[in-house]
Copies of this chain bind each other. A is one copy, B any other.
Amino acid sequence: MRLAIFAALTASALCLAQNPGDFKPAASNVLNAQYPRVDSNSRVEIRFKAPDAAKVRVNFWSGPKAEMQKQPDGYWTFTTPPMAPGLHYYTVIVDGAEVSDPGSTAYFGGSKWASAVEVPEAGETYYLPQNVPHGQVREVWYHSKVAGAWRHALVYTPPAYDTRLKERYPVLYLQHGGGEDESGWTRQGKANFILDNLIAAGKAKPMIVVMAHGYARRAGQSTPDPRSGPPGSPEMRKAMQDMLSAFEDDVVQALIPFIDSTFRTIPDREHRAMAGLSMGGMQTFHVTFNHLDLFSYIGGFSGAANVFAAGNDRLDVRTAFNGAMSDPAAFAKRVHLLWIGVGTNEPERMKQGIEKLHASLVEANIQHVFSQSPGTDHEWQTWRRNLLDFAPRLFQPATQRPAP
Interface on A for B, CB 8 Å cutoff? 30-33, 48-56, 74, 92, 94-100, 102-106, 108, 111-113, 129, 131, 134, 136-141, 143, 150, 162, 165, 181, 186, 192, 215, 223, 225, 262-263
Main secondary structure of the interface of A (DSSP, over half): loop
A238: shortest Cβ distance to chain B, in Å? Answer: 16
On whether the beta carbons of B134 and A50 are closer than 8 Å, the reply is: no
Q: Which 8 A-B pairs have the closest CB atoms?
A: A106-B113, A50-B97, A52-B96, A99-B99, A51-B96, A106-B106, A53-B95, A137-B139
On whether the beta carbons of A52 and B49 are closer than 8 Å, the reply is: no
* A51 partner residues in chain B, CB cutoff 8 A: 95-97
From B50, B140, B225, contact of A32 by CB (8 A): B225
On whether the beta carbons of B50 and A52 are closer than 8 Å, the reply is: no
Docked CA distance A15–B139 (Å): 45
On whether the beta carbons of A97 and B31 are closer than 8 Å, the reply is: no
Docked CA distance A112–B32 (Å): 10
* A56 partner residues in chain B, CB cutoff 8 A: 97
Docked CA distance A136–B215 (Å): 21
| Given known A-B contacts A49-B98, A134-B141, A137-B138, A31 and B162 have beta carbons under 8 A apart | no
Docked CA distance A31–B183 (Å): 14
On whether the beta carbons of B97 and A30 are closer than 8 Å, the reply is: no
Docked CA distance A49–B97 (Å): 6
From B32, B99, B111, B263, contact of A30 by CB (8 A): B111
A31-B111, A48-B97, A52-B96 are known; give 17 further A-B pairs, CB within 8 A: A30-B108, A49-B96, A50-B95, A53-B95, A53-B97, A94-B95, A94-B99, A95-B95, A97-B99, A100-B100, A105-B113, A129-B150, A134-B141, A136-B138, A137-B138, A138-B139, A162-B262
Give the oligomeric copy count: 2
On whether the beta carbons of B113 and A102 are closer than 8 Å, the reply is: yes
Docked CA distance A98–B100 (Å): 10
Docked CA distance A95–B94 (Å): 8
Docked CA distance A225–B138 (Å): 31
Closest chain B residue to A112 by CB distance? B102
Q: List 8 A-B contacts (CB under 8 A).
A: A31-B111, A31-B223, A50-B94, A50-B96, A53-B53, A92-B97, A100-B113, A129-B150
On whether the beta carbons of B134 and A150 are closer than 8 Å, the reply is: yes
A274: shortest Cβ distance to chain B, in Å? Answer: 22
| Given known A-B contacts A136-B139, A141-B134, A53 and B96 have beta carbons under 8 A apart | yes
* A96 partner residues in chain B, CB cutoff 8 A: 49-53, 74
* A98 partner residues in chain B, CB cutoff 8 A: 49, 102
Closest chain B residue to A224 by CB distance? B32
* A140 partner residues in chain B, CB cutoff 8 A: 134, 136
Docked CA distance A139–B141 (Å): 15
Of the listed residues A31, A92, A98, A111, the one surrounded by the most CB atoms of chain B closer than 10 A to its CB is A31
On whether the beta carbons of A102 and B99 are closer than 8 Å, the reply is: yes
Docked CA distance A74–B98 (Å): 12
A278: shortest Cβ distance to chain B, in Å? Answer: 16
* A137 partner residues in chain B, CB cutoff 8 A: 138-139
On whether the beta carbons of B111 and A32 are closer than 8 Å, the reply is: yes
Of the listed residues A49, A97, A223, the one surrounded by the most CB atoms of chain B closer than 10 A to its CB is A97
* A139 partner residues in chain B, CB cutoff 8 A: 136-138, 186, 192
Docked CA distance A180–B108 (Å): 18
A118: shortest Cβ distance to chain B, in Å? Answer: 15
On whether the beta carbons of B113 and A52 are closer than 8 Å, the reply is: no
Docked CA distance A192–B141 (Å): 11
| Given known A-B contacts A99-B102, A129-B150, A138-B137, A30 and B113 have beta carbons under 8 A apart | yes
Docked CA distance A54–B186 (Å): 39
Closest chain B residue to A103 by CB distance? B112
A230: shortest Cβ distance to chain B, in Å? Answer: 17
Closest chain B residue to A98 by CB distance? B102
